[in-house]
Amino acid sequence: MSSDKVIFRAVADRGRCCGYGLCASICPEVYKLDADGLVYFEDDKVTPELEEAAREGAEACPAEALWLEEIKP
């Protein structure tokens, strides 16, 4: 049995982002808003400790512009 934790990265379709900011209010450690109010990442890697909040932030996006992808080793 492997003890390796699955690592995810956050992905954004900035063309769909409408700047509601729900993602950043739920998980500001992952989701940031630029001067135009659009989502961006300082680092798209989601640590295991932030995975639940990052998923909640992505699921809260009304434009469905955010999701998490597994990083394959």
Query: What pLDDT, on a 0 to 100 scale, did the predictor assign at position 5?
Result: 75
Residue spans of the domains in the chain: they are 8-70
pTM, entire model: 0.89
pLDDT of residue 4: 65
Q: What would the pLDDT profile of 26-48 be if each residue is shown by its tens digit?
A: 999 999 999 999 999 999 999 99
- Distance, in Å, from the CA atom of 24 to the CA atom of 30, rounded to the nearest integer, reads 7
8-70 CATH, one of 3.90.870.10, 3.40.50.300, 2.70.98.30, 3.30.70.20: 3.30.70.20
Share of the chain above pLDDT 90, in %: 89
**Can you tell me the mean pLDDT for 52-72?**
96
